[in-house]
Each structure stands twice: as C-alpha cells, then as structure tokens.
Amino acid sequence: MQNPLTPEVLADPVALTRVLVDMESVSLNEKAIADCVEEVLRSVPHLTTYRHSNTVMARTDLGRPQRVVLAGHLDTVPHNDNWPSTMRGDLMYGCGTSDMKSGVAFALHLAVTLPDPRYDVTYLFYEAEEIESRYNGLTLVSQAHPEWLEADFAVLLEPTYGIVEAGCQGVLRATVTTTGARAHAARSWHGSNAIHAAGEVLRRLTAYEARRVTIDGCDYREGLNAVGIHGGVAGNVIPDRCEVEVNFRYAPDRDPAAAEAHVREVFDGFDLVVTDSAAGAAPGLDAPPAREFLEAVGAEPIGKLGWTDVARFAALGIPALNFGPGDPNLAHHKDEHVEIGKIRDGAATLHRWLTPA
C-alpha cells in the first residue's frame, strides 16, 4: 500500500490531520499508522528514528543545551458512525479529529519541516493511550527504553482548544462496601439490608464539599463522586452486601497516599478498597522552555481538569503541559470535530516557539 503521508500532505497540518484521521487506528490496531509514520520519519535526514512495538520515536541531535518532547498518541476510541472524516465548512468531523490526530499532525509536520529547532526535540508517536495503562506506549517505552523519555520539558498534544492546560489532576478509584444479613423479603426483619446501609455512603457523598486549589496561578477543582453501585441477590432476598464505586479527582498538591487517606477519612467506618490510583502532575511552568512556550502561546494557562500522560513525565521529574487544537469536551463524542483555524493557529504557535530567534 502506498503511504498516504506524502510530502504535500506533510507540509499542511490541516491536510495531514485529515489523512491521519482517515487511517483507522482504534486502540491495539495502530500497526498500519505506525508503519506509515515510521517510514516518513526514517526518510528525514535530520532525525534519528527508533520503534518499539507500535510506538515510534524520532529525535534531533544538534547539541542544543536543552531537549523538549512533543508527544501524541496514535490510537482512538472505537468509531461511532463517525469515520472516515467529513468536512462541514471550517470544521473537520471524525473519530480522532480532536483526540488527538490534530495534535499528532502538529508533531509530525514539525518533525519533517523544521530541521534546525532552537532545542533538540524528541518526537513521540505512541500507542494505546485510550485503554488500560499496561498497553500504553509511554509505559512500555519507560520500561524498555527509558532514555527515549529524557528531556527538560514535554508537551502532550492533547486537546485543549488552543490554550495551555498545565499539569493534571490525580485520580483514585475505590470500592466502599456495606454488609448486612440475608433474609427472606417477606420476613425482612430477620435480616439487615446492605443496600439500605449504602444510604449513608451516598449521604456523605452528597454532603461532600469539593476543594478548590490554586497552584502556580492554575485552578484545580476536586471531585468525589459515586460512579457505580452493585448489590442484590434475588428479587425475594434481603441483600447482605452492597458495593459503591467512587471516583476521586484530586489536585496535584496531593500525592496518592494523601488522596487515599482523605477518601478513607470521608468513609470512616466503612470497608474501603482502592482499586486504581494515579498521581497528578504539578503545572511545571518554571522550566525555561515552559516559560518560552507560554510566551509563544500568548495566553494564561489553566489547570488541567482530568488525568493525562503529563503525569508520566512528571513522575520522571520532567515538567510537562497539555496543548492541542481540539476541544476536550468533544473527545469520544459521536460528533467529535476540530476547527480548521485552531489547527493552523496551533501549528503556527509551535513553529514560533521552536524556531531559533
């Protein structure tokens, strides 16, 4: 098959976005798009290119005093009658337009067209961001080739609608369990209803007052919510067990241990098991490349309300932020789309930042 990433396409971030969107790459099916990206990058003389599974890395080695990373994931969520792409005026519709083929287009366009950036640049095009962490390309690279991730600063090209979303929230998931005693529903007084006991769990959640935190001028709003409830034995049995799944999104001034301690305090007296936990990331705006990036954007940053792979870089001591043309509110939606103007403006911003003065 002829590679659709032609020189003409690579020269235009808008055309490149559409071609990338039309290359099907639902999570765990990224081989074809990774093959095309790898072929392009290996043909660029100012880059050294490597591959691990379906993650492709290319880097300059110009002897610059600082190195930055531009990273974007190649995969998308499953299609929802929204593939291939369509154009409606100045909007491009299709699965992955916002999250995040338009961001990937930025990195691929710059990798090919900017041979002499002001920093050394590592371009990472990675697999399986949209599914479990064990498949995530950054996770796999950090285990097999940690030197690929070494840098002074990183930009995750996630959808942010053209503004800087700094850092990210941490996330903790837990199961709160209530217990009782089974009995026949006709003689309920012989038992103890575990689902009724869950009412106190829900009451505490309803009364919970979420904390708002400002870090380096960026606001983060926490949230603790029930996201699932499971209980019941049969239509004529008083249940002896009920589980409430809770999700805690917390500001990056808490670490996972502090987040867990807080959730356990909220549900004191109940059995609680943490099922998943991922640390957040501080804004990281003090790094010189970050300050210069903010100057190129020309707008104040905001805190990222959600978890992104910036946390993986933060865990390695690398400050990172999110920046991309898509609207994060449209990610995973059937009518996912991106504005053509946002693609052009974002590409110009990155070019302005990376071009030597």
Shared domain for 239 and 318, answered yes or no, is no
Shared domain for 228 and 340, answered yes or no, is no
Shared domain for 24 and 134, answered yes or no, is yes
Mean pLDDT of 8-29: 98
Q: What is the pLDDT of residue 241?
A: 98
Shared domain for 221 and 350, answered yes or no, is no
CATH of the domain at 193: 3.30.70.360
Domain boundary pick from 278, 296, 325:
278
Q: How far is CA 61 from CA 121, 123, 141, 277, 357, in A?
A: 8, 12, 19, 36, 19
Domain boundary pick from 213, 245, 278:
278
Shared domain for 34 and 113, answered yes or no, is yes
What is the overall mean pLDDT for the chain?
96
Shared domain for 161 and 174, answered yes or no, is no
Shared domain for 261 and 285, answered yes or no, is no
The amino acid that residue 31 corresponds to is: K
Mean pLDDT of 4-27: 98
CATH of the domain at 35: 3.40.630.10
Q: What is the pLDDT of residue 1?
A: 72
Please, which pLDDT band fits residue 357 given cuts at 50, 70 and 90?
confident
What share of the chain in percent tops pLDDT 70? Answer: 100
The verdict on residue 204 lying in a domain is yes
Q: How far is CA 156 from CA 88, 183, 324, in A?
A: 27, 54, 8
Mean pLDDT of 80-107: 97
Query: Token match 């690579």: residue?
Result: 10
Please, which pLDDT band fits residue 352 given cuts at 50, 70 and 90?
very high
Q: Report yes or no: 247 and 173 within 8 Å, Cβ to Cβ.
A: yes
The verdict on residue 326 lying in a domain is yes
The helix-helix angle for 31-42 and 102-113 (nearest 10°) equals 20
pTM of the predicted protein model: 0.90
Total domain count for the chain?
2
Shared domain for 258 and 301, answered yes or no, is no
Contacts of 19 (CB under 8 A, 6+ apart): 4, 5, 9
Q: What is the pLDDT of residue 293?
A: 96
Shared domain for 97 and 179, answered yes or no, is no
Mean pLDDT of 43-72: 98
Shared domain for 288 and 142, answered yes or no, is yes
Please, which pLDDT band fits residue 103 given cuts at 50, 70 and 90?
very high
The verdict on residue 1 lying in a domain is no
Q: Is the pLDDT of residue 166 over 80?
A: yes
What element of type H or E holds 143? helix 137-144
- Per-residue pLDDT of 207-261, as tens digits, reads 999 999 999 999 999 999 999 999 999 999 999 999 999 999 999 999 999 999 9
The verdict on residue 155 lying in a domain is yes
Catalytic residues: 75, 129
Residue 95 structure tokens: 């699965």
The verdict on residue 178 lying in a domain is yes
Q: What is the pLDDT of residue 284?
A: 85
C-alpha–C-alpha distance, residues 185 and 232, integer Å: 12
Show the domain range for 256: 170-278
Domain boundary pick from 233, 263, 278:
278
Mean pLDDT of 138-148: 96
What element of type H or E holds 250? strand 241-250
Please, which pLDDT band fits residue 190 given cuts at 50, 70 and 90?
very high
Q: Beta-carbon neighbour count of residue 141 at 10 Å? A: 22
